[in-house]
Structure 1
């Protein structure tokens, strides 16, 4: 190995070290700038007028916000597909048991399991769907 090849390798190592140091300093500066801007104080709210309770206003606003948020959070859950493997060849829930005794009508479990195995959601289930209808959203 010649002398000129060793100098090139050392130069490359120095460049990488300087690049890493520069990136580290830049990241630290960005983190400090972000922390400094987040630490600013929020404006002070005015005191309520006489006869009004700040606690009652806060509780009413909080309850209204929570009621609205619950509806938006529950609505997708009611229409979410319960069995992600439904209508596929590998669905482990797609099994039913049936029997028929003499001349009586056949009895099967497919009537109870078909809403789930056909890709239904919570709102499509016979009893739970009616109960889910009572939920907001």
Structure 2
């Protein structure tokens, strides 16, 4: 059985590891809030962790609630959802504006042709159609 100094040293390591994991600043693990990461982050064995019931109780109490990292992830997910909705809205608006632009361009082209006809700028007016030889009436 470990002596009191050894146990308090292990508890200190476990407590420091718990704080790092909860703060999102792991040194030895991927940072997920799992008991496996707790003892690995602390650099102790699973058995040593299991012999620290006060640490395990605190871990359960703090991890079972809402963790700061989980809040951050949820906030990022919400922001991503909002940005996706905004992107969909903007794409729809772009399509509407492109349709309006096409209509405006078509109307402008039609008005331009009409204006040319009204001013007598019809380029087809001065063109005389060619006739086939022998089709002339004398």
TM surpasses 0.5 = no
Query: Greater relative contact order (Cα 8 A, min sep 6): structure 1 or 2?
Result: 1
* Length-normalised TM-score, structure 2: 0.31
Q: Which has the higher helix share?
A: 2
Q: TM-score, normalised by structure 1?
A: 0.31
